[in-house]
Amino acid sequence: MDTSDAVSFLDDRQCWQRLAEQELGRLVTHVGAVLDIFPVNYIVDGDSVVFRTAEGSKLTELTINDDVLFEVDEYSDADAWSVVIRGHAQRLTTADEVRAADELGLRPWIPTVKYNYVRVRAASVSGRDFRRGPEPDRYGVQQY
């Protein structure tokens, strides 16, 4: 395999298409010197993702600092991809916001009550597509 074909960049449209194909992502929060990562099930809504959460550290942290990363990936034996959203998380609080979020059909994966909706609005989105294969010869002559 030509190693120059092993990684390609996804444009914004491709990133959002990949995000819409999945349901599980990882939310990264940052408060002071503490970084946390939380798996969340989500749904794409326009140029944002929406998830539900209960009261707790995740909601507290994104309320203190709304700068977040949101990452989704998928892989097989042949290929893989990864998309990262850099953005801002906002708890949905108005009746209209919550009503609109209810209509998205997002349900918790585990049997817990999650009253709070959170929307992550993308400041930027980036993604890469990977072709998997054997490692090239590390010690032979390499193409540059």
| pLDDT tens track for 82-111 | 999 999 999 999 999 999 999 999 988 888
Q: Average pLDDT of the chain?
A: 92
Predicted local distance difference test score (pLDDT) of residue 143: 62
Predicted local distance difference test score (pLDDT) of residue 11: 97
Tokens matching residue 49? 């993702």
Predicted local distance difference test score (pLDDT) of residue 5: 80
Predicted local distance difference test score (pLDDT) of residue 134: 80
Predicted local distance difference test score (pLDDT) of residue 2: 52
3-state secondary structure of 33: coil
What does residue 113 show for φ and ψ, rounded to 5 degrees?
Answer: -85, 125
Return d(Cα 38, Cα 82) in angstroms, integer.
17
| Below-50 pLDDT ranges, the chain | 1
Taking CA atoms, 71 is separated from 1, 28, 60, 68, in Å, by 28, 8, 20, 10
Q: How many other C-beta atoms lie within 10 A of the C-beta of residue 21?
A: 11
Return d(Cα 131, Cα 116) in angstroms, integer.
38
